[in-house]
């Protein structure tokens, strides 16, 4: 248990939002102060990156209005510009290093390939997908054995696909085409390199990789999932339930 009053500063990144200010196109990470006292320009430890970061330019955000924060106490929420250092679920702390449990995440059940309709907007297309994934809107997978690396979007429901296409158009100026795929579930696969190399997959099952390079298997039916798990007893299949 962490005493919010007596313990040194600790905070938890619970939300990331890009393009809140259309003039700057920045990305902001929102941090809830869990213990201690946050002071502007203080140095905090980032356990995931195993490095110290100076927390400059913290803000209190209300709609599009921003107010510089000099200090914050447990229960307060502050926003900081995210240059790619923060992910949802990150812990920040001072004093003895600690790490809070990650946020649970529902396993994906809807899948689709997203295509960029204008090759001249490739940079904007790629940046938009990266930032939307950082926000937790969707997960992005790439087929492991395909030479054509088209992004596979993995989502809890089809509504997330509509959100992606709408934001890609309005925020990044890219027109996209979505092709839904006939998969019903995904499982992340863990095992030794030798066991992964011997993994048996039925013909309709597709192996992919996420942004961290982890192996993900996409199944067209629950029967295929159960059969694949049964045929690969040396591998662990998980729902990857955290951000």
* Domains 10-93 and 110-238 alike in fold: no
**Right CATH number for 10-93 from 2.120.10.30, 3.30.300.30, 2.40.30.10, 3.40.190.10?**
2.40.30.10
Q: How many residues appear in the chain?
A: 243
- Which pLDDT value is given to residue 211? 87
Q: What is the per-residue DSSP string for 94-111?
A: SSS---PPPPB-PPP-EE
> Count of alpha carbons within 13 Å of 200, Cβ hemisphere only?
11
Spans in the chain with pLDDT lower than 50: none
- Which pLDDT value is given to residue 80? 93
- Which pLDDT value is given to residue 102? 85
- Which pLDDT value is given to residue 15? 94
Where in the chain are the domains? 10-93, 110-238
For 108, other C-beta atoms within 10 Å of its C-beta total: 24
- Which pLDDT value is given to residue 48? 93
pTM for the model: 0.83
- Supply the CATH classification number for the domain 110-238: 3.30.70.3280
- Which pLDDT value is given to residue 243? 53
């Amino acid at each position: 248990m962490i005493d919010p009053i007596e313990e040194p500063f600790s905070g938890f990144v619970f939300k990331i939002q890009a393009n809140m200010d259309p003039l700057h196109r920045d990305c902001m990470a929102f941090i809830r102060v869990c213990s201690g006292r946050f002071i502007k320009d203080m140095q905090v430890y980032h356990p995931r990156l195993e490095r110290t970061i100076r927390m400059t330019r913290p803000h209190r955000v209300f709609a599009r209005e921003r107010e510089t924060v000099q200090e914050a106490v447990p229960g307060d929420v502050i926003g900081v510009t995210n240059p790619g250092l923060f992910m949802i679920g990150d812990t920040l702390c001072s004093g003895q290093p600690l790490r809070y449990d990650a946020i649970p995440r529902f396993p994906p059940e809807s899948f689709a390939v997203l295509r960029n309709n204008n090759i001249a907007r490739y940079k904007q297309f790629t940046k938009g997908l990266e930032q939307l994934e950082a926000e937790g809107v969707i997960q992005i997978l790439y087929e492991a054995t395909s030479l054509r690396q088209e992004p596979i979007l993995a989502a809890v429901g089809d509504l997330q696909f509509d959100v992606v296409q709408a934001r890609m158009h309005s925020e990044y100026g890219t027109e996209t085409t979505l092709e839904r795929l006939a998969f019903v579930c995904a499982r992340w696969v863990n095992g030794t390199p030798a066991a992964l190399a011997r993994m048996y997959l039925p013909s309709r099952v597709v192996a992919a990789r996420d942004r961290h390079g982890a192996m993900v298997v996409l199944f067209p039916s629950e029967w295929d999932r159960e059969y694949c798990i049964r045929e690969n007893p040396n591998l662990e299949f998980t729902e990857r339930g955290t951000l």
